[in-house]
């Protein structure tokens, strides 16, 4: 009986991935809703039913694989960002800065009014600024979306992520300084860490394309080389204690501006990328506990609504200046709903500096679960309503 119990525990992750994939395929076939919404829901339910199988002490390898999966998505995401477009139309960057700052301010104010400690409120507000590039890119690729709203969403998500990561690291640095009293230690886990990550990603983004050109293998081996580059970068980022999020995003950005072309068939990095993506969204939800979700449900729902309204409203406010209609501006803001995977992996990294956030961010657990399921649906609906997907005629 003990052996059977160990077998069941060991089968937790494979079983969760298989069930999540099957549920996602059935959901998409019957309703056309995003597959990733079901991945997160299955992961959360499995973690409640079989908690021993998903205990953090046994998940170091899974955590590394989840970071690798996120790295592959961030590389592809960074590759889609066109800095030249931001120079031509600076209002996109302005709207991104404005909606991120407004989201931070509103979430901080609401958290502060509920008697949450100042540093905890700051941490929650910094995470609420973000939009998950994993959720948005998977929906865009699945829906085969293209157009003004799609491109603006991608660039706004990139701005959200960089700003959220910067503010998050600064707040964590203050937290470390407050607990350790060491200013050098606090700085090393904030600005220096981000600079090192960007430098590492940019260097690899120049080196890999240069190597492929020398080998004459750009068309044939590009996908494999970039996947191995992401794997190396994630491992280096963890070894050097820098942000793998910023490193892999910069890697993709630098590769694009090295004039490397990726074909359409290489999106999502093939079957292995698809498998790792299922694991990533399952992993993001297994970190949540039912008791914590319930404890933060009321505040979490308020913060989700406030975040949604601020992002949609601020992007719509700058729409005409940026060259699109108010309607498309509103839909662009609606598409910024997902944030779960980005938040989960950032919080996982705080363990390395001795910060374990449990009861302090119960509201964040509720927000994460809600947006894990509803966020991708809102993004998909926004893209369809903007008439930028092949499914527009079905709606």
> What are 122-135's pLDDT values in tens digits?
888 999 999 999 99
At 353 the pLDDT is: 52
Name the band, by pLDDT with cuts 50, 70 and 90, for residue 323: confident
Task: Supply the pLDDT for residue 329.
Answer: 93
Residue 45 near residue 4, CB atoms below 8 Å? no
| Percent of the chain with pLDDT strictly greater than 70 | 83
User: What is the per-residue DSSP string for 78-124?
Assistant: HHT--HHHHHH-HHHHHHHHHHHHHHHHHHHHHHHHTT--HHHHHHH
Q: Token digits for 257?
A: 């501006």
Euclidean distance between CA atoms 43 and 20, whole angstroms = 7
pTM of the model: 0.89
Alpha carbons within 13 A on the beta-carbon side of 201: 31
Residue listed under structure tokens 């406010």? 317
d(CA 263, CA 280): 24
Position 350 confidence tier, pLDDT thresholds 50, 70, 90: low
Q: Are 28 and 34 in contact (CB under 8 A)?
A: yes
Least confident of 9-13, 97-101, 118-122, 208-212: 9-13
DSSP 335: T
Amino acid 310: pLDDT: 95
Per-residue pLDDT at 342 exceeds 60? yes
Radius of gyration of the chain (CA): 20
pLDDT for 105: 95
Q: Are 212 and 260 in contact (CB under 8 A)?
A: yes
Q: How far apart are CA 369 and CA 94, in angstroms?
A: 30
Angle at CA of residue 296, ends 291 and 302, nearest 5° = 150
**Best CA proximity match to 119, nearest among 174, 44, 200:** 174
Q: Residues with Cβ < 8 Å from 391, sequence gap 6 or more?
A: 32, 143, 384
Structure confidence by residue, pLDDT tens digits, 265-313: 456 677 788 888 899 899 888 878 888 888 888 888 999 999 999 999 9
């Amino acid at each position: 009986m003990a052996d059977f119990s160990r077998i069941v525990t060991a089968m937790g992750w494979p079983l969760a991935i298989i069930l999540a994939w099957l549920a996602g395929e059935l959901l998409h076939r019957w309703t056309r809703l995003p597959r990733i919404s079901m991945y997160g829901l299955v992961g959360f339910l499995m973690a409640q039913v079989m908690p021993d199988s998903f205990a953090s002490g046994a998940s170091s390898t899974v955590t590394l694989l989840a970071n690798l999966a996120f790295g592959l998505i961030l590389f592809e995401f960074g590759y889609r960002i066109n800095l030249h477009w931001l120079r031509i139309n600076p209002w996109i960057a302005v709207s991104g800065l404005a909606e991120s700052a407004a989201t931070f301010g509103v979430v901080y104010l609401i958290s502060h009014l509920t008697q949450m400690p100042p540093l905890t409120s700051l941490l929650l507000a910094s995470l609420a600024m973000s939009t998950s590039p994993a959720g948005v890119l998977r929906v865009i690729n699945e829906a085969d979306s293209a157009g003004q709203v799609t491109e603006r969403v991608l660039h706004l998500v990139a701005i959200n992520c960089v700003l959220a990561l910067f503010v998050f690291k600064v707040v964590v640095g203050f937290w470390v300084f407050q607990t350790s009293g060491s200013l050098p230690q606090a700085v090393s886990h904030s600005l220096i860490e981000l600079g090192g990550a960007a430098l590492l990603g940019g260097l690899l983004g120049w080196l890999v394309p240069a190597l492929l050109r020398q080998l004459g293998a750009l068309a044939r081996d590009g996908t494999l080389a970039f996947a191995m580059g992401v794997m190396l970068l994630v491992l280096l980022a963890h070894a050097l204690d820098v942000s793998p999020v910023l490193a892999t995003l910069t890697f993709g950005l630098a590769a694009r501006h090295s004039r490397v072309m990726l074909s359409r068939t290489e999106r999502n990095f093939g079957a292995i990328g698809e498998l790792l993506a299922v694991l990533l969204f399952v992993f993001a939800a297994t970190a949540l506990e039912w008791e914590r979700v319930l404890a933060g449900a009321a505040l979490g729902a308020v913060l989700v609504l406030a975040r949604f309204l601020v992002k949609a409203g601020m992007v719509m406010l700058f729409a005409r200046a940026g060259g699109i209609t108010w309607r498309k501006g509103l839909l662009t803001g609606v598409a910024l709903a997902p944030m779960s995977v980005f938040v989960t992996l950032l919080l996982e990294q705080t363990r390395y500096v001795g910060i374990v956030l449990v009861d302090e961010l119960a509201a964040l657990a509720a927000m994460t679960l809600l947006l894990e399921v509803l966020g991708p649906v809102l993004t998909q609906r926004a893209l369809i309503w903007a008439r930028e997907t092949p499914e527009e005629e079905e709606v």
